[in-house]
Amino acid sequence: MAALPPREFAAQVLPGCVVPTARQGLAQLWPLLLLCLGARLLHRLPLPRGGKHAGAAAGGLLALHHFFGAQALWVALLSGLCALTLLLSRARAQRGLCLALAALSYLLMGELHMVDTVTWHKMRGAQMVVAMKAVSLGFDLDRGAGGARGGEPSPAQVLGYLCSPGSVVFGPWEPFGAYLRAVEGPPLSAAWARKGLRSLGLALLCLLVSTCLAPFLFSCLLPLYGARALRRSVLARWLRAYESALSFHFSNYFVAFLSEATATLAGSGASLHHDNLRWDLAVSRPLRVELPRSMADVVTNWNLPMSRWLHTYVFQTARRLGTFAAVLGTYAASALLHGLSFHLAAVLLSLGLITYVEHVLRQRLAAIFDACVLSKRCPPGCAHRHKDALWVRGLNGALGAVALFHLSYLGALFDVEADDTVEEQGYGMSYTIRKWSELNWASHWVTLGCWVLACLLR
Amino acid sequence: MRAAALGLALRALWALALSSLSNTLAVNNSGRWWGIINVASSTNLLTDSKNVQLVLDPSLQLLSRKQRKLIRQNPGILHSVSSGLQTAIKECKWQFRNRRWNCPTSQGPNIFGKIVNRGCRETAFIFAITSAGVTHSVARSCSEGSIESCTCDYRRRGPGGPDWHWGGCSDNIDFGRLFGREFVDSSEKGRDLRFLMNLHNNEAGRMTVFSEMRQECKCHGMSGSCTVRTCWMRLPTFRAVGDVLKDRFDGASRVIYGNKGSNRASRVELHHLEPENPAHKPPSPHDLVYFEKSPNFCTYSGKTGTAGTAGRFCNSSSPGLDGCELLCCGRGYRTRTQRITERCNCTFHWCCHVSCLNCTNTQVLHECL
């Protein structure tokens, strides 16, 4: 996409992009939203439990069919496989691991042999959600935790959970207990409707920013490329990287808010506060990603349910291997879930290294200065002497700026200028290497520098 | 009595004047609207598109009544038409910068000169690219909102679903084509071969803009997967239109007047173009058509209105059309050197100023005799 002069931008992008994008978005989404509402109303009816679960599963399959056509069969097959594995491993102790193995091998087989790249890339998100749900259910049963306390779940329950329309297409991952609460049918309320509409509105806004505004940020909205000398400089390359990253981020927020809306509409995502239902499902926190405190903060707030899943089921399981191994293992698991794409694996493993080094360095700094500069915000009553001094804020700001730099670097890979075919199939290895060497592998060097610094401070 | 005689004489004079005027009009009517390119210079008119102004401006007298009516009915469109024309001329000059005929233009009402009244490939290109320029510019101005009578409206957008159809600003390209058909084609009068050729080439220009429209898409889904795609249409750059038309120029088909059958077929059937070589396929709406061979454009000729290539700069090392051998038509060339001083090695200093050096280069120029 070549840069447009501002006049053309105003003429083309605003009416030519904003309106069609919003229309296409809504036109593709309304059946899903209707299905979610239908599921919600079904759950309110006085039906036997089995009927509700079967209804949820049917609704989910319809939603899948709407988005993927006949290819929805692959997702349905995965759900079937997971339910079957759960049934067969009834007597074993390690059901979580069994399910993880089954789901992973299905994903790898599909990726390598069964389906063509474009189709697979299209369905990856849905399959990831199903796999995550199945694995979490297995571990919950092992630990006797969550909503699985009430004994063995029936196959209808499992299928309803795996395919519930509120989360089957765009996510989010929700624990089994949350699904069971949604099936109970919490009362319809104004707060519920407000939350659903708000999430939907925010989703559309993010969609528009991602498609129509972010790719033109520095060429048209803040015309920084105007200065001729700047056009070919290193700075321009970084600005472009930031544009790509921003567009990718907003695409993610779109999906996050959309999944928030669908899950809420389908009735899950309510939490109980002092006997009050509160509709406060949060999938992503854009502000904490765009103005980050640390990369760890970014990774958590990027997709809260996903990071919660990784923390509960992967990190805690792998913890006995040591922190570093657990962190890398978590990111590796995430990469495996995302499919065998070199590009995503590179991003996720880089993220693992960056967050680990950041964690170590900030721990050292916090100990030396006795200040609140850890990756995570200090809890209110922490033992640090300097909490909110100006220099502490300055240091946090500087470390946040480093995180912003890492973000542009990583996000440069999700380039809007790439061909449509590339975007449909996912990006290859040579593409990743070319993009990063254009930016001189800067982020990796900075990470190495931080690590050396952390070692010296020891 | 004397008064009556005077009246008669005046009437005769008037008739004479009218007939001579209509004679010249009959010859030069094609593409007379191109004269409004000069409108762009009188800026007060652009801001104020009222009737009175339109009638008063001399270059608008070149328009036919229908064209003036169209401009009155679509306030703001005049600027768009004239800037589209300017873009088209710039593109024509760029596409032909290396050829013997380099799209020369002149001030005054007949900007392309006498080539317009011929029926060669160059004529075909001029008609196609100016028509494309108007369509392109009007289509863009519509979505920009600078023409009051058209907007980007989205009635033709298809439904969603996996096989969604893309829209975008499809309606304003429709308006651009429609307006082009009404405005540009109304310059052409008659029923002869030249008339048919000009209409065909005008339409080919518009078709090119339409068929070069591009769709841009973006994927959305969990962690970058492609669950949902949103797309929008974008007009081609005018360079892309020029490139396609240049290709069509190279592959233009030579046609003759086809007068098939004398039975009561419709008028459209009666007048149509046939390929000169019966073995060839009839020209498609995308193709450019011509009916006479191009002059060689080598030497000055007042009759055909060609300026010749004397004094043109050529490339001594190129064997192609821009090479000195072909461009100078074998007459040879003279070589001279020129010293040029320009800004170079510019560096950007934070923040924000740019410093440059002055470099002097020697340039070797070859000029056709």
**Residues 6+ away with beta carbon under 8 Å from B55:** B68
Q: Could you give the strand order of the β-sheet that contains B289-290, starting from the edge strand earlier in sequence?
A: B272-275, B253-258, B289-290
Which three-class secondary structure state does DSSP give residue A273? Answer: strand
**Nearest CB to B218; choose among A171, A211, A259:** A211
Residue type, A407: L
Query: What six digits make up the tokens of A28?
Result: 């593709």
Arithmetic mean of pLDDT, B154-166: 37
Arithmetic mean of pLDDT, B311-315: 86
**Residues 6+ away with beta carbon under 8 Å from A394:** none
How much is the pLDDT for B143? 67
Which of A338, A343, A359, A406 is labelled catalytic? A338
Q: Å from A275 to nearest chain B CA?
A: 34
B90 band by pLDDT with thresholds 50, 70 and 90: very high
| Residues A247, A252, A258, A261, CA torsion sign | negative
Q: What is the pLDDT of residues B228-282, one digit of tens each?
A: 887 777 778 889 899 999 999 999 999 888 765 544 444 444 567 888 888 888 8
* CA gap B167, A403 in Å, rounded: 39
Q: DSSP per residue over A121-169, as a string?
A: HHHHHHHHHHHHHHHHHHHHHHHT-GGGGGSPPPHHHHHHHHT-TTTTT
**Would an 8 Å CB–CB cutoff place A436 in contact with chain B?**
no
**Nearest CB to B226; choose among A121, A254, A303:** A121
Q: Å from A248 to nearest chain B CA?
A: 8
For residue B140, the chain A residues in CB contact (below 8 A) are: 8, 11-12
**Would an 8 Å CB–CB cutoff place A65 in contact with chain B?**
no
Between the alpha carbon of residue B206 and those of residues A415, B174, B202, B275, the distances in Å are 33, 10, 7, 22
Listed as ranges, residues in chain A with pLDDT below 70 are 1-16, 145-150, 219-232, 415-427
Between the alpha carbon of residue B342 and those of residues A230, A347, A456, B337, the distances in Å are 19, 45, 52, 16
Dihedral (Cα; A220, A224, A230, A235), 10-degree rounding = -110
By C-alpha distance, the chain A residue nearest B356 is A229
A194/B157: higher pLDDT: A194
DSSP letter for B315, please. Answer: B
Provide the chain A residues 280-309 that lie in CB contact (below 8 A) with chain B: 303
Which three-class secondary structure state does DSSP give residue B80? Answer: helix
pLDDT at B194 over 80: yes
| Residues B287, B288, B290, B296, CA torsion sign | negative
Average pLDDT for chain B = 76
Name the CA radius of gyration of chain B, rounded: 25
Which three-class secondary structure state does DSSP give residue A386? Answer: strand
B199/B231: higher pLDDT: B199
Q: Å from A403 to nearest chain B CA?
A: 19
**Would an 8 Å CB–CB cutoff place A111 in contact with chain B?**
no
A252:B347 CB<8 A: no
Which three-class secondary structure state does DSSP give residue B295? Answer: coil
The bridge status of strand B214-220 relative to strand A276-279 is: unpaired
Report which of A335, A344, A457, A358 is spatially closest to residue A404, judged by C-alpha positions.
A358
Query: What six digits make up the tokens of B156?
Result: 């033709």
**Residues 6+ away with beta carbon under 8 Å from A212:** A13, A14, A17, A18, A21
A67:B224 CB<8 A: no
ipTM above 0.90, yes or no: no
**Would an 8 Å CB–CB cutoff place A130 in contact with chain B?**
no
pTM assigned to the model: 0.72
Between the alpha carbon of residue A262 and those of residues A55, A249, A257, A267, the distances in Å are 16, 20, 9, 9
By C-alpha distance, the chain B residue nearest A224 is B352
B235:A12 CB<8 A: yes
DSSP letter for B321, please. Answer: T
Average pLDDT for chain A = 85
* CA gap A334, A307 in Å, rounded: 9
* CA gap B359, B347 in Å, rounded: 14
How much is the pLDDT for A222? 63
Report which of A265, A258, A277 is spatially closest to residue A41, judged by C-alpha positions.
A265
* CA gap A47, A267 in Å, rounded: 16
How much is the pLDDT for B170? 46
Sole residue written with tokens 């590796």: A332
Q: How many CB atoms lie within 10 A of CB A234?
A: 12
Arithmetic mean of pLDDT, B68-87: 86
Arithmetic mean of pLDDT, B207-214: 86
**Residues 6+ away with beta carbon under 8 Å from A148:** A137, A140, A141, A176, A177
* CA gap B113, B304 in Å, rounded: 9
H/E element holding A77? helix A72-88
For residue B152, the chain A residues in CB contact (below 8 A) are: 15-16, 19
* CA gap B138, B76 in Å, rounded: 10
Q: What are phi and psi of B323, to 5 degrees?
A: -70, 155
* CA gap B215, B238 in Å, rounded: 16
DSSP letter for B167, please. Answer: -
How much is the pLDDT for B42? 46
Helix axes A342-369 and A442-457, enclosed angle (nearest 10): 30
Which three-class secondary structure state does DSSP give residue B353? Answer: strand
Given a contact cutoff of 8 angstroms between Cβ atoms, the answer to whether A355 and A299 are in contact is: yes
**Nearest CB to A171; choose among B160, B168, B222:** B222
* CA gap B14, B25 in Å, rounded: 16
Which three-class secondary structure state does DSSP give residue A458? Answer: coil
Q: What is the pLDDT of residues B7-50, one digit of tens each?
A: 555 555 454 444 444 444 444 567 778 877 766 544 434 444 44
Given a contact cutoff of 8 angstroms between Cβ atoms, the answer to whether B286 and B207 are in contact is: yes
Sole residue written with tokens 């930031």: A242
Query: What six digits make up the tokens of B343?
Result: 């800004």
How much is the pLDDT for A445? 94
Q: How many CB atoms lie within 10 A of CB A391?
A: 11
Q: What are phi and psi of A402, to 5 degrees?
A: -60, -40
For residue B141, the chain A residues in CB contact (below 8 A) are: 11
By C-alpha distance, the chain B residue nearest A211 is B218
A344:B167 CB<8 A: no
* CA gap A220, B116 in Å, rounded: 40
How much is the pLDDT for A1? 39
How much is the pLDDT for B23? 40
**Would an 8 Å CB–CB cutoff place B161 in contact with chain A?**
yes
Cα A373–Cα A379–Cα A381 angle in degrees, nearest 5: 110
Q: Å from A405 to nearest chain B CA?
A: 19
A19, A205, A338: best to mutate for the B interface, most B CBs within 10 A? A19
Sole residue written with tokens 């949350």: A178
H/E element holding A397? helix A390-411
The bridge status of strand B289-290 relative to strand B253-258 is: parallel
Provide the chain B residues 189-208 that lie in CB contact (below 8 A) with chain A: none
Helix axes A342-369 and A429-438, enclosed angle (nearest 10): 40
For residue B223, the chain A residues in CB contact (below 8 A) are: 124-125, 128, 252, 303, 338, 344
Q: Å from B95 to nearest chain A CA?
A: 21
Q: Is A249 one of the annotated active-site residues of the chain?
A: no
By C-alpha distance, the chain B residue nearest A22 is B230
H/E element holding B290? strand B289-290
Report which of B190, B74, B89, B194 is spatially closest to residue B141, judged by C-alpha positions.
B74
Q: Å from B77 to nearest chain A CA?
A: 15
For residue A28, the chain B residues in CB contact (below 8 A) are: 160-161, 164, 228
**Nearest CB to B230; choose among A21, A259, A424:** A21
Q: What are phi and psi of A67, to 5 degrees?
A: -85, -35
H/E element holding B338? strand B333-349
| Residues B57, B60, B64, B66, CA torsion sign | negative
**Residues 6+ away with beta carbon under 8 Å from B301:** B295, B308
H/E element holding B135? helix B121-144
pLDDT at B125 over 90: yes
* CA gap B164, B228 in Å, rounded: 11
Name the CA radius of gyration of chain A, rounded: 23
Q: What is the pLDDT of residues B331-354, one digit of tens each?
A: 888 888 888 888 877 776 766 677
Arithmetic mean of pLDDT, B117-134: 92
How much is the pLDDT for B288? 92
Given a contact cutoff of 8 angstroms between Cβ atoms, the answer to whether B275 and B255 are in contact is: yes
B225:A423 CB<8 A: no
